[in-house]
Chain A
């Protein structure tokens, strides 16, 4: 666990970057520091591994004040990932990843074996090991950065806007990768971003900082979205806070209709403008309008129980019938959520 105890950082020019910050980053969780530019995120992060020393207050690592630990020793036990990856241009990928094991005096062979293992872990082709960093794409470099930070298996990982320099698609896949890795590794991660969506997606806990380096709110993402502490947080969360909140509302409670899904050849129930035609395997084929039984229209699906109410709503908006198709993990239709059912779920979510 990382503890900030009334930590203040005043730079020599008088700038107060962090102001009496107290927070805890629990072991095995991702704590996200989020806030506008200049609110002291990087400063806070770097005080943990003593790249910057706090002016007042203390930072504890599992109860031990970091100020008492020799910086190089401290840092070798803390993984660090930054925006530009910071890879060494003159070293091959495998040696970049093995940097900290080398520093720790591991046998060269063992360090390289470990590096190869990690490359695979972060989803990189081992054939990249012999390349130099400039021969990799930005997304690949960022993965190498993550592998390098994990090489000596540090319990703590500090990440400073690690994914903000790559395009949105790569960013999404890197985020998913991080969540997958974290499910296996259970590191104590402090993650800095200025992107609230990223914070909500990745954080077990999110600390919103305001300029001047004070803590505006510390909460899990769901609470943050449903009960922002003040106007600053509300504004920072953005206008579509309500919609985003839906991604934390489960679909398991949705009322589904099964009569609207119709086996091949059969006709739909009476009085319904649309029905869902199924394939022989029980997967959706398309929406059929009452008046034109030959037509098949677009449909949207969500995986019942796994996907959020936001996905269900999205699925509904994608089809002309206005209904969302609920499927199981294999893609087989389990029912249909009508507008009415979605409405009732939304009303419940708004209360909760």
Chain B
């Protein structure tokens, strides 16, 4: 590495909280907001859409086709296009990432519901569950593991993709990369990479923990 640890730590200390918008702390917060908001929004959108697709199978093909097309769009031109509508704001980054998340989560919700064994569904019907209650207390809980693994993918990829927004001035920690792209081993780049990876690991860890707490019946299966 070109810069020794003292320089790195010095740089961090100097830039951690300068009070300016581009202090490491503020970039980190921006990064969190811009990556986690799409995770939340895409989940909220994917649940009803996934339910609708599972209920009316005919919707599923066109919906997932459309979502895959959106997923295939390169993010940079999409940002450029959105700038004309939402300007150089965080919204410009959040909107496409929300769609990317939906592209993963809608199939996850559909697959999750499909993972409910037919005999379990039949048993619920036979015991006198109303359709709404069956969905809420039987089918969705059983779909949770599949949806959560989709959510892990979305969280990690969203955290990583936010950096691209740096090209339009809204990249969170990605902003650190644009400062010195001639030399990739400068402190800002190292700090940026380490923080993005750490953020992804923490988000993933939180979701794994949530999975264990929410679905003890899945975890217990492993050692048995």
Contact string, A77-96, partner B, CB cutoff 8 A, digits 1/0?
01010111111111100000
Asked if A86 and B130 make an inter-chain contact with CB atoms under 8 angstroms apart, the answer reads: no
Closest to B115 in A: A89
Question: How far is A88 from B216 in the complex, measured between Cα atoms in Å?
Answer: 13
Residue total for A at the interface (Cβ-Cβ under 8 A) = 28
Asked if B215 and A90 make an inter-chain contact with CB atoms under 8 angstroms apart, the answer reads: yes
Asked if A72 and B224 make an inter-chain contact with CB atoms under 8 angstroms apart, the answer reads: no
Instruction: List A68-82 residues whose CB lies under 8 Å from chain B.
Output: 71-76, 78, 80, 82
Asked if A90 and B128 make an inter-chain contact with CB atoms under 8 angstroms apart, the answer reads: no
Question: How far is A18 from B141 in the complex, measured between Cα atoms in Å?
Answer: 36
Asked if B220 and A135 make an inter-chain contact with CB atoms under 8 angstroms apart, the answer reads: yes
Closest to B130 in A: A72
Q: Which of A73, A84, A134, A148 contacts B128 (CB 8 A)?
A: A73
Instruction: List B114-143 residues whose CB lies under 8 Å from chain A.
Output: 117, 119-120, 122-130, 133, 138, 141-142
Asked if A132 and B128 make an inter-chain contact with CB atoms under 8 angstroms apart, the answer reads: no
Asked if B123 and A100 make an inter-chain contact with CB atoms under 8 angstroms apart, the answer reads: no
Knowing A134-B217, A134-B221, A135-B224, the reply to whether A88 touches B122 (Cβ < 8 A) is no
Q: In angstroms, how far is the closest chain A Cβ from the Cβ of B41?
A: 27
Asked if B128 and A88 make an inter-chain contact with CB atoms under 8 angstroms apart, the answer reads: no
Asked if A87 and B123 make an inter-chain contact with CB atoms under 8 angstroms apart, the answer reads: yes
A51 within 8 A of B: yes
Contact string, B67-85, partner A, CB cutoff 8 A, digits 1/0?
0000000000000000000
Question: How far is A86 from B124 in the complex, measured between Cα atoms in Å?
Answer: 8
Question: How far is A88 from B129 in the complex, measured between Cα atoms in Å?
Answer: 13
Question: How far is A85 from B144 in the complex, measured between Cα atoms in Å?
Answer: 22
Knowing A89-B120, A132-B217, the reply to whether A51 touches B125 (Cβ < 8 A) is yes
Which of A73, A82, A88 has the most chain B CB within a 10 Å cutoff? A88
Question: How far is A90 from B216 in the complex, measured between Cα atoms in Å?
Answer: 8
Asked if B120 and A88 make an inter-chain contact with CB atoms under 8 angstroms apart, the answer reads: yes
Closest to B121 in A: A86
A99 within 8 A of B: yes
Contact string, B210-224, partner A, CB cutoff 8 A, digits 1/0?
000001110011001
Q: In angstroms, how far is the closest chain A Cβ from the Cβ of B108?
A: 17
Question: How far is A90 from B117 in the complex, measured between Cα atoms in Å?
Answer: 12
Residues of chain B at the chain A interface (Cβ within 8 Å):
117, 119-120, 122-130, 133, 138, 141-142, 144, 215-217, 220-221, 224
